[in-house]
Structure 1
Amino acid sequence: MKKITTTIIGCMALTAFAYAQEKKPFVLNGKITGQPTGKLYVMYEDAAGNRTFDSLVLKNGSFTVKGEIAGAAIAYVRSARREDSPATVVLLPGSQQFIAAGNKLNLAKVTGNNANAGVWDLAQEKALIQQKHQLRLDSLRKEKDHDKAADIRERLAPYFEENDQADYHYFRKYPTSALTAYMLRYHVADLPLDTLQHYYDQLGAATQQTGFAKYIADELNRLRHGSPGAVATDFTARDIQGKDLSLRDYKGKYVLLDFWASWCVPCRKGNPHLKELYARYQSKGWEIIGVSDDDRNEKAWKTAVAKDDLPWKHVLRGADMSRLEDNPNDISLKYGIHSLPTKILIDPKGVIIGRYGSEGDELDKKLKEIYGE
């Protein structure tokens, strides 16, 4: 499964309107032991979606960050060494203190507010997970070949799963934390709709008013529109031959929307099996529309379709990097797509009856049920 992070991260910055709280000053006084000089980089995003980037010079191992934030803000403090994990800090208006060892910045301790409860424990758990998988992570960082790097990422699936579970443990233990709302946005693609809704409900009224949580609420709404029981949202797009294609033209047939991309390794690996299904059921009235996340590289899209010999209709998703949040032509946005591959099965009445990822054989079972096999 590939997460589509560029769209998600871009949209997050557009939630500022949702959280109208007055900005107030904050101070973060830091001490790095064992590192008297050097440079640090700080990024923080507040509850209204305001982002700030800054660089700091250590003086006798000390630094100070000052600014204004609307409500809570999530900050990352990192060193100049790219391979080092950053420290995560929950900032509040007022003064707070930061202390860490220069070689273990990610295990910083923050005092002065109670919003950082559990953050050190989460960092420690993730540090142990990283240590466990460090050799493979180093291989990925050094690998220049695209296909070999993709294979290493697949073998790192346990690493990503363990990190996800660490986050979920934090969500359950600190359900109303601003950090929970902030990180939950990155798990929209991982969680079933009812689980995501549960975590959102547990945030509480105050945290739900933050821009972090407003983003989750919007995504929940989109996911409902792309989940079983919902009427499939119509769209019209130019197909790979340059002709108009509309979903409404498929009314009366079972149709599969296959959200994929030329650069998505699991998508491409699954194409041979999808072709087998198409050969078996197309004559019985089953159609596929491939929706590719390749708007920025049409040549790669067309090359992949030809190379994989995909016989069904194909369109681009309609992404526009200048309109990430409100693009009416973005098919993926209409259906709440955050990971690839995702497949959505629609019945002859235009109602969604299935949503599938790359794992399992649920689609196969559903097609056998539909066609009486």
Structure 2
Amino acid sequence: MKIRNLLITFFSALSTICFGQAGKSFSVHGQITNPKLDSVSMLYINDQGKIIRQIIPAENGKFDIAGTINQPTMAYLLFMHKGEKLNKREAEIKTNKVYIEPGEMTINAEEDRQGYVTVKGSKSQIEWNDLKSKTRPIQSALDSLSNGDARKAPALLREQLAKINYAYFIGHPGSYVAANQVTYFMSSYSLDSLKRLYDNYLPEIKESIDGKRLAATIKGRTAGLPGTMAFQFTVKDKDGKDLALADFKGKYVLLDFWATWCVPCRKSMPHMIGLYQKYKAKNFDVIGIGDDDNRVKEWMDAIEHDGIGMFHHTLRGVNMEMFRKGIPNPRDLDEGYGIRALPTLILIDPAGKIIGRFSGNEEELDTMLASVIK
């Protein structure tokens, strides 16, 4: 399954900015009694869509952080102490997620007994702490069982966590926090469930970046369903030549959404090669779509190593600047086909209609190919 890398997760979590509006100032005033407090680090996205990291010295426990945002925005807050050295995992555990808002806020303690930061002046932070209090028992169990690796977390607990969050999302149609947190559960909810969430939003939430992102996700998933006409694209292939889906009209085309870092994807390549060899003379072709826009060399090396150079290949086309601004990206083929897990295989018939969608189920794909290609 597709596990978003840390950078994409960060953008998803923080992108609650409504661009095109004038930025509004925020300030966080801190006064911590801990004499060992040395500095405070805050990471967030400002009103211009830029990643801002401020490291502020804490003199006698006092610090001030200021910037411009447009609406409640998630930020990462890390308290550093004198002589303290943290590795990446330790820093991740210690980092607090907080919601900052336009206006003035204060922090008088690093955290309370339950590990929640109290940010006075932020209504969204109150909502965030409320949501965490509801999910904390299951989240703690997940963390202890998976050691921080979501891929190792028991499916039943993940499902329970998704259900609790969904109930909160439905019950808070005007919450920027709820809309932002939906980002983490897109792949857990059915299309109908996502539609219900979006329809339930208040107008200002629909107009937020996360509201628009949910609308785009719903559109993409609908577009990628069997029975719909395939999203048309013209892109550059791995050799810099034009690759247009329209040029494959009259053929069965299998779109293989994969990535170099996706273990099931790589393991499936011998099977993909076998299918290609079996049906290539019967109006059948394969287009590999790699989720490796920032790992082009690794992508090219994997194509050669796995022996899949006979397929057509292109990159997904993700654009992180557009992503964090909430701007639709017609070049992002994952968006065009509503991809939420890797590997995903989409079978298109000679007329350009999607007739099959598969997520790692080789037997179902084999059966469909055998039935449609004589």
Q: TM-score range by the shorter chain?
A: 0.7 to 0.9
1:227-238 equivalence runs, <5 A: 227-238=225-236
Query: Aligned-pair distance for 1:282?
Result: 4.6
Alpha-carbon contact 1:267-1:341 (below 8 Å) kept:
yes
2:139 aligned with 1:129, yes or no? yes
For 2:246, what is the secondary structure of its paired residue? helix
1:350 is matched with: 352
Match of 1:341 among 335, 343, 346: 343
The AA in structure 2 aligned to 1:207 is I
2:149 aligned with 1:155, yes or no? no
Alpha-carbon contact 1:49-1:212 (below 8 Å) kept:
no
The AA in structure 2 aligned to 1:98 is I
Alpha-carbon contact 1:15-1:215 (below 8 Å) kept:
no
Query: Aligned-pair distance for 1:274?
Result: 3.3
1:257, 1:168 → 2: CA distance? 32
Specify whether residues 283 and 9 from structure 1 end up closer, same or farther in structure 2 by C-alpha distance, changes over 3 A only.
farther
Alpha-carbon contact 1:287-1:312 (below 8 Å) kept:
no
Alpha-carbon contact 2:226-2:357 (below 8 Å) kept:
yes
2:181 is matched with: 183
1:341, 1:186 → 2: CA distance? 19
For 2:116, what is the secondary structure of its paired residue? strand
Query: Aligned-pair distance for 1:239?
Result: 4.6
Query: Aligned-pair distance for 1:208?
Result: 1.4
Query: Aligned-pair distance for 1:258?
Result: 0.4
**Greater shift after overlay, 320-329 or 33-42?**
320-329
2:217, 2:256 → 1: CA distance? 20
1:252 is matched with: 250
2:229, 2:41 → 1: CA distance? 47
1:70, 1:295 → 2: CA distance? 30
Structure 2, unmatched stretches of 5+, are 81-85
1:144 is matched with: none
Specify whether residues 137 and 271 from structure 1 end up closer, same or farther in structure 2 by C-alpha distance, changes over 3 A only.
same
Structure 1, unmatched stretches of 5+, are 141-152
Query: Aligned-pair distance for 1:128?
Result: 5.8
Q: Please provide the CA RMSD for this pair.
A: 4.0
Query: Aligned-pair distance for 1:257?
Result: 0.4
1:91 is matched with: 100
1:326, 1:114 → 2: CA distance? 30
Query: Aligned-pair distance for 1:287?
Result: 2.8
**Greater shift after overlay, 246-255 or 162-171?**
162-171
Query: Aligned-pair distance for 1:8?
Result: 7.6
**Greater shift after overlay, 224-233 or 344-353?**
224-233
Alpha-carbon contact 2:127-2:177 (below 8 Å) kept:
no
Query: Aligned-pair distance for 1:56?
Result: 2.6
The AA in structure 1 aligned to 2:41 is Y
Query: Aligned-pair distance for 1:171?
Result: 2.0
2:259 is matched with: 261
Identity fraction in percent: 32
Alpha-carbon contact 2:26-2:67 (below 8 Å) kept:
yes
2:14, 2:97 → 1: CA distance? 19
Cα deviations across residues 185-213 of structure 1 (Å, max 9, x unaligned)? 34445543333222222221121122332
Give the TM-score taking structure 1 as reference length: 0.75
**Greater shift after overlay, 300-309 or 342-351?**
300-309
1:9, 1:28 → 2: CA distance? 21
Cα deviations across residues 299-347 of structure 1 (Å, max 9, x unaligned)? 4334323333337522122637587557665544543445422222212
Cα deviations across residues 36-80 of structure 1 (Å, max 9, x unaligned)? 522221133468856543223334444443444323232321234
Query: Aligned-pair distance for 1:267?
Result: 0.8
Query: Aligned-pair distance for 1:219?
Result: 3.7
For 2:93, what is the secondary structure of its paired residue? coil
Alpha-carbon contact 2:15-2:45 (below 8 Å) kept:
no
Cα deviations across residues 127-170 of structure 1 (Å, max 9, x unaligned)? 763465447537x7xxxxxxxxxxxx743465866765564354
For 2:119, what is the secondary structure of its paired residue? strand
Tell me how many residue pairs correspond in the alignment.
358
Specify whether residues 134 and 360 from structure 1 end up closer, same or farther in structure 2 by C-alpha distance, changes over 3 A only.
farther
2:83 is matched with: none
Specify whether residues 328 and 110 from structure 1 end up closer, same or farther in structure 2 by C-alpha distance, changes over 3 A only.
closer
2:214 is matched with: 216
For 1:120, what is the secondary structure of its paired residue? helix
Specify whether residues 184 and 73 from structure 1 end up closer, same or farther in structure 2 by C-alpha distance, changes over 3 A only.
same
2:19, 2:334 → 1: CA distance? 26
